[in-house]
Amino acid sequence: MRILADENIDALIVAWLRQAGHDVKGVTEFAPGRDDEPLAELACAEARLLLTRDRDFGELVYRQR
């Protein structure tokens, strides 16, 4: 599975997912502090599941489509 792990996802979880064979791109490794909208766009562009604990993404996805 291709995953984009937001910076609020613990590094141990990212490492565990990678060890399980998933293709995980960790936001803390390439774009810490990036706003939600560009991350959502990146996840879509790269066909990645966005893994986050940030509830603001719900508003972005459901209200702003």
Q: What is the pLDDT of residues 24-58, one digit of tens each?
A: 999 999 888 888 889 888 999 999 999 998 877 66
**Residue 24, pLDDT score:** 98
Residue bearing the bigger pLDDT, 13 or 62: 13
pTM of the model as a whole:
0.85
Average pLDDT over residues 12-32: 95
**What's the CA gap between 7 and 31, in Å, rounded?**
9
What is the spatial order of strands in the sheet that 23-26 belongs to? 23-26, 2-5, 49-51
The pLDDT assigned to 42 comes to 93
Is a pLDDT exceeding 80 seen at residue 60? no
Q: Which among 27, 35, 31, 36 has a CA at the least distance from the CA of 4? A: 27
